[in-house]
Amino acid sequence: MKRAIKICIVILIGFISMRATCGKPKPSETNIKAVQVLKIKDFVYYHNMSITYNGDHYFTINGGNENYCKLNEYDEKGKAVSSYDVGLDGRAIFYNSDLDQMYVKVYGQDLYSIGLENNDANIEYSYIFEDDNSSSAMSPDGLYFYEFVRGKVRVINSEDGTIEDSFYLPRYTELEEDGHDVSIAASDNNLFVWGSIDEVFIYDLSGSYIDKVKLPRIGYGFSLSYCNGLLWIAQDANARDKGTSGYWFGYRLDSLE
């Protein structure tokens, strides 16, 4: 009788332990893989900040000092085509295909339109951004700018510069590395921000968390970009006024629907 009671107690304890273990959530594992598609060698002064695509060519902008501005152009294979000096201390570069117009968000709160044929830049909107250092994004349809400032996303109407919406992203933890807490990229369906110096968190356009992707290398904080169906980061030149080359890496995100 005593033996039977002991057996029952052991079985009961095992059952309770099994239920407790099964009830604990398992650590989430991402199925998204970053597959490198393209590498571009990008000569700049100071820092490699942002990249965009106009349907034929890639364009990059540097930042760190407006007196050492380089806006570089590359073909689809990453071969250098041309370089322009538009006198801007860039943080992000965008291309609006509907208007056939290129823009640069500078250090400060202003947005400039770019005329490459004349090597010039003109203020399109003043004081539409909240953070001087933010490296913002444009939606692929050209309707919105997205600015990310330490957990908060500001959605800006590109036609008049007014705020359409703002929201905070779940799971985001503020990072101390340069530029990681004020950089965002955008695709047709997703927003991308840094989760760590080599990991990117993925959200839908309303700010709901979807997944994360581990990158095969550390990226410069300001460089996070999305264009031509690829997520981009830079290995920064950190060149100051001497000038040297950094590298852009474009990744296809497999299994991201």
pLDDT tens-place string over residues 195-217? 999 999 999 999 999 999 999 99
Model confidence at 6, pLDDT cuts 50, 70, 90, reads very low
Average pLDDT estimate for 135-147:
97
Q: Predicted confidence band at 29 (pLDDT cuts at 50, 70, 90)?
A: low
In this predicted structure, the answer to whether residue 24 has a pLDDT above a threshold of 70 is no
| Residues forming beta bridges with residue 227, ordered by sequence position | 230
Please provide the size of the chain in residues: 257
Does the pLDDT of residue 74 top 50, yes or no? Answer: yes
Mean pLDDT, rounded, for 40-49: 98
Q: Quote the strand ranges of the chain, DSSP E.
A: 33-44, 47-53, 58-63, 71-74, 80-84, 90-96, 101-106, 111-115, 120-125, 137-138, 144-149, 152-157, 163-168, 185-186, 190-196, 199-204, 209-214, 225-227, 230-235, 244-254
Whether the pLDDT of residue 88 is over 90: the answer is: yes
pLDDT reported for residue 233: 98
The residues spanned by each domain of the chain are 32-254
Q: Give the Cα separation of 109 and 117 in Å (integer).
A: 25
Cβ atoms of 234 and 223 closer than 8 Å: yes
Note the pLDDT of residue 174: 85
What topology is assigned to 32-254 in CATH? Answer: Neuraminidase (2.120.10)
SS3 57: coil
pTM of the model: 0.88
